[in-house]
């Protein structure tokens, strides 16, 4: 009987050792405007988002220049009558529709979409999320 009680005591000690420890209390949110701002910037990755936005704007400008200044003149050489596609306009009555500007915007969008697609594929291959 004494042996059973010793085993029971030993098992109780083991059980208390195996019980999970209570989680440490979560730290209080930082106080003060500056600390809250830094916490916001790091938590929501605002800097990365801002950099991506700025790079996207300039990449769009670069691609737009590529399309207007290099690709469309080459298309104009290849297809007679489209020497300057950007200035092409359809006139209906007294209204002038900027068909050429729309086509330039469409071509630019498609090229930017392809470039972004390639960038995303390359970064995923490199393991960057």
Looking at residue 38, which CATH number applies to its domain?
A: 1.10.1200.120
Count: domains in the chain = 1
- Model pLDDT, residue 74: 77
Q: What is the Cα–Cα distance from 20 to 16, expressed in whole angstroms?
A: 9
- Reading the block at residue 53, the tokens are 């936005």
Burial class (CB in 10 A: 0-12, 13-18, 19+), 63: buried
The H or E element that residue 57 is part of is: helix 46-66
Length of the chain: 129
First to last CA, the chain: 63
What is the domain extent for residue 115?
A: 33-125
Task: Tell me, yes or no, whether 24 lies in a domain.
Answer: no
- Model pLDDT, residue 101: 73
Residues 27-48: tens digit of each pLDDT: 766 678 888 877 777 777 766 7
- Reading the block at residue 11, the tokens are 């098992």
- Reading the block at residue 56, the tokens are 């996207």
- Model pLDDT, residue 70: 77
Task: Tell me, yes or no, whether 99 lies in a domain.
Answer: yes
pTM (global) more than 0.85: no
Task: Tell me, yes or no, whether 97 lies in a domain.
Answer: yes
| Angle, vertex CA 54, rays to CA 37 and CA 43, nearest 5 | 30
Give, as one character, the DSSP assignment of residue 19.
S
Per-residue pLDDT of the chain (129 residues; tens, 9 = 90+): 677 888 888 888 888 888 887 777 777 666 788 888 777 777 777 667 777 787 788 788 877 777 777 777 777 777 776 666 666 667 777 766 667 777 777 887 788 788 778 877 887 787 765
Residues 96-111: tens digit of each pLDDT: 666 777 777 788 778 8
Give, as one character, the DSSP assignment of residue 96.
E
């Amino acid at each position: 009987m004494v042996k059973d009680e010793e085993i029971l005591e030993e098992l109780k000690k083991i059980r208390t050792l195996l019980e999970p420890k209570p989680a440490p209390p979560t730290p209080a949110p930082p106080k003060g405007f500056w600390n809250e701002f830094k916490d916001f910037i790091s938590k929501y990755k605002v800097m990365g988002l801002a950099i991506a936005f700025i790079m996207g704007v300039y990449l769009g400008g670069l691609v737009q220049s590529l399309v207007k200044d290099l690709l469309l003149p080459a298309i104009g050489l290849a297809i007679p009558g489209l020497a300057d596609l950007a200035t092409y306009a359809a006139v209906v009555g007294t209204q002038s529709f900027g068909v050429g500007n729309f086509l330039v915007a469409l071509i630019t969008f498609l090229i930017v979409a392809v470039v972004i697609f390639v960038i995303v594929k390359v970064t995923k291959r490199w393991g960057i999320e």
